[in-house]
Amino acid sequence: MQLFNKKRLYLAIYYSDPRTGHEDQKYRFGFIVGPKDESRRDHARGLSCRVRRLSSTAWQYEETRLGDVRMADDLLARVLIAKVTDEERLMAILREAPVQDDTNYGWCKDVVTRIANDDKAVGWPAIKKWESIEAVSLAFVCSKRMDGRYPAHPGRPKPTWNALRRKEIIH
């Protein structure tokens, strides 16, 4: 087991359709597994895990390697929600969670519940309930929107909230 520089689990927030009138439908969610040390671009590689819409009724789980977890193209913001203690176990939870055919909220909520019920995949989760994670994430994105951070500039790190320490991570 790796004792130092444990990987981190982030909730990733992406644009969905900003024209919808509902705040909870403006965004899509997923997870990013990345390194603790993101100080150098070559050290900031990670993995995006999320479900994507294939058609009006079908969703599919996908993993995408990221060259820099701080700057994924369609990423709005990240929220650090846990330290990873067993990456294989965490990846099994992400891969085995059923993909529901409604939105990605159902999948994300199920993943968070599975992680909260597992005592080995992550240590020190910041928040154990989806509704709390969603509320913190939406509040952070809204505050960044009010600060004029969107649209985000390509090539710049996206805003990141550390829910473990309750403060923004400045890159």
Per residue in 127-164, pLDDT tens? 789 999 999 999 999 999 898 888 767 778 899 999 99
106 versus 124: the higher-pLDDT residue is: 106
Residues in the chain, total: 171
Q: Does the pLDDT at position 1 exceed 50?
A: no
Mean pLDDT comparison of 5-9, 23-27, 74-78, highest-scoring range: 74-78
**Coil vs helix vs strand at 14:** strand
Per-residue pLDDT tens digits for 63-101: 999 999 998 878 999 999 999 999 999 999 999 999 976
> Which tokens is 138 given?
């939406």
First to last CA, the chain: 28
Please identify which residue in the block is written with the tokens 């644009």.
15
Give 39's pLDDT tier (boundaries 50, 70, 90): confident
CA distances to 29, 69, 82, 90 from 159, rounded to whole Å, are 15, 11, 17, 24
Secondary structure E strands in 16-108: 27-34, 46-53, 59-66, 75-84
This prediction's pTM: 0.90
Q: Which residues pair with 30 in a beta bridge?
A: 12
For the purposes of burial, counting CB atoms within 10 Å of the CB of 90, is it exposed (0-12), middle (13-18) or buried (19 or more)? buried
Question: Hey, what's the torsion of the CAs at 122, 10, 169, 46, to 10 degrees?
Answer: 100
Name the residue among 32, 48, 49, 43 with its Cα closest to residue 5.
Answer: 43
